[in-house]
Amino acid sequence: MIGDLGAQDATELAAWVASGEVSPSELLDAALAAVEARNPALNAVVLIQEDVARRAIAEGLPAGPFRGVPFLLKDLGAEARDFPSHNGSRLFANTRYSLDSAIYTRMRATGLVTFGRTTSPEGGIGGATEAAVYGGPTRNPWNLDHTSGGSSGGAGAAVAAGIVAFAHGSDGGGSVRIPASSCGLFGFKPTRARLPDGPYAGEGWAGMAIDGFLTRSVRDTARMLDACEGADLGAPYAAPPLARGHADAISRPPRRLRVGICDTTFTADPIDPDVAEAVRATGRLLESLGHHVAPALPKADFKGMMRAWTDIVAVGSALSIRSALKGRTLDDTLVEGVSRGACAYAETLHPTRYLQAVGEIHAFGRDMAAAFDGHFDILLSATLAEPPAKVGRFSHKTTDYVDFRIGPNGIFAYSPFCAIFNASGQPAASLPLGWSSTGLPIGVHLAAPFGQDEELISLCSELEQAQPWRARRAPMAQGQ
């Protein structure tokens, strides 16, 4: 049974533990064996703390929904006393924490067995994961020449490779949804402030960043969201309250919805033909389920939003890096090119630019709310404009931070959909419903109005039942 660990989702593994068919120790053994066998080719799992995991099992795991299931934290955020972190950077290597973050405390209470971390690009500002601190790129289990995405690229690779059934991630510009699309997984970005940020931060990137999970099933995400949702003590703001919870929402189909479909970018530029067809095929599937599907092109200042996002993240990156340097020289022995470029660019901005950019992001959110209001309930698009990129295409060696983000061949051209909903704060999800002509995963993206997480995840579950995806796995996950 354990030999085919990659075929199960976390809910099923927890059921095995609850029934006594397997023990938490046996599942951990299987996960560690999978790391040993598959991680050398992937470079996805780092900072393994097997002794911490063994001790947690020996002391008795909480009786939560994922009791005994192996789990990995993203190596960016999710601060935990027992799990040191590099945070994707040589500058922050081997950082230790005196307190557990609220999100980790809530995840741990589900009974999972955390045993390590997964790779992330420096600063979390890339659509690929190739950080120098890990000694090389993280690769895609479907094809090792391609990226697993970013910034939760290690999490996506580890789940797609069958090392773990699910893993922690975070999403400030698509960093859960991009790896989900790249690795054939489900990735859900909740409404702004649905999950806690404290005590190490009040908000991430002016509220645009939020934690999340890379999963094989909608139900795993739903249950983890329910376990973790809600503001922590002292949070500056909170998301609108849920009506029933995510797990209850997926227990029944949603109402028949008005779906706006866009098979181009939101600025009407063409996208890869395989990707566009995956969007149209999903539209046809939704129509067959009784939803009303019609063309849509939301009206908002997308280029202005991308510039504001770029400026906010540059200032945030510079603040983090400058604080950590503690008098040391900012050079390539500690900080990669894109991050050094972000620091240099931030210094060119007027002192008032940060608040101006935050204001522009908030105005954009109002424009996106108006675009939905009275027109459609769900917006369907691609997650990425093309299939997963080749390794090296989004290397952090360049110091031209602005071009890396918003240049003609930059991250926003590759991923023109995801960050829009970080800026607007709306819930959004990537579903593995398409495949390229070369056999690479293609994610299809759904977004809903602010606060409508339950309706969105219910629709995701309906699509999963109509077109199941779990049986299609990377060869590596099947031991090939």
pLDDT tens digits, residue range 93-120? 999 999 999 999 999 999 999 999 999 9
Q: Does the pLDDT at position 6 exceed 80?
A: no
Residue 479's pLDDT band, with cuts at 50, 70 and 90, is confident
Per the CB < 8 A criterion, the answer to whether 308 and 273 are in contact is: no
pLDDT for the residue 437: 97
Q: Cα–Cα distance between 123 and 69 in angstroms, integer?
A: 29
When pLDDT is averaged across residues 79-84 and rounded to a whole number, the result is: 98
Per the CB < 8 A criterion, the answer to whether 400 and 320 are in contact is: no
Q: What is the pTM of this model?
A: 0.98
Residue 478's pLDDT band, with cuts at 50, 70 and 90, is confident
Residue 480's pLDDT band, with cuts at 50, 70 and 90, is low
pLDDT for the residue 7: 84
Structure tokens at 349: 């901005």
Average pLDDT of the chain? 97
User: Using the 8-state DSSP alphabet, how is residue 254 labeled?
Assistant: P
Residue 476's pLDDT band, with cuts at 50, 70 and 90, is confident
What is the 3-class SS of 168-225, one letter each residue?
EEEECCCCCHHHHHHHCCEEEECCCCCCCCCCCCCCECCCCEEEEEEECCHHHHHHHH
pLDDT tens digits, residue range 182-226? 999 999 999 999 999 999 999 999 999 999 999 999 999 999 999
pLDDT tens digits, residue range 85-94? 999 999 999 9
pLDDT for the residue 4: 59
Q: Cα–Cα distance between 391 and 128 in angstroms, integer?
A: 8
Q: Does the pLDDT at position 5 exceed 70?
A: no
| 74 is a catalytic site residue | yes
pLDDT tens digits, residue range 344-358? 999 999 999 999 999
* Domains located in the chain, CATH noted: 2-308+335-478 (3.90.1300.10)
More confident residue, 480 or 112: 112
What is the enclosing helix (H) or strand (E) of 275? helix 273-288
pLDDT for the residue 3: 57
pLDDT tens digits, residue range 121-168? 999 999 999 999 999 999 999 999 999 999 999 999 999 999 999 999
Residue 264's pLDDT band, with cuts at 50, 70 and 90, is very high
pLDDT tens digits, residue range 407-452? 999 999 999 999 999 999 999 999 999 999 999 999 999 999 999 9
Q: Does the pLDDT at position 275 exceed 70?
A: yes
pLDDT for the residue 379: 98
Asked, as a colleague might, if the bond just before 270 is cis with ω within 30 of 0, I would say no
pLDDT for the residue 409: 97
Q: What strands, in cross-sheet order, belong to the sheet with 441-447? A: 166-171, 210-215, 186-189, 428-435, 441-447, 378-382, 258-261, 292-295
Residues in CB range of 363: below 8 A, 6 or more apart: none
Structure tokens at 23: 């023990």
Of 298, 396, 387, 281, nearest in space to 338 by CA: 396
CA 307 to centroid of chain Cα atoms: 22
Q: Cα–Cα distance between 127 and 152 in angstroms, integer?
A: 9
Determine which one of 85, 175, 182, 461 is catalytic: 175
Q: Does the pLDDT at position 1 exceed 90?
A: no
pLDDT tens digits, residue range 290-328? 999 999 999 999 999 999 999 999 999 999 999 999 999
pLDDT for the residue 2: 63
Determine which one of 89, 151, 152, 461 is catalytic: 151
Per the CB < 8 A criterion, the answer to whether 386 and 272 are in contact is: yes
Q: Cα–Cα distance between 445 and 65 in angstroms, integer?
A: 27
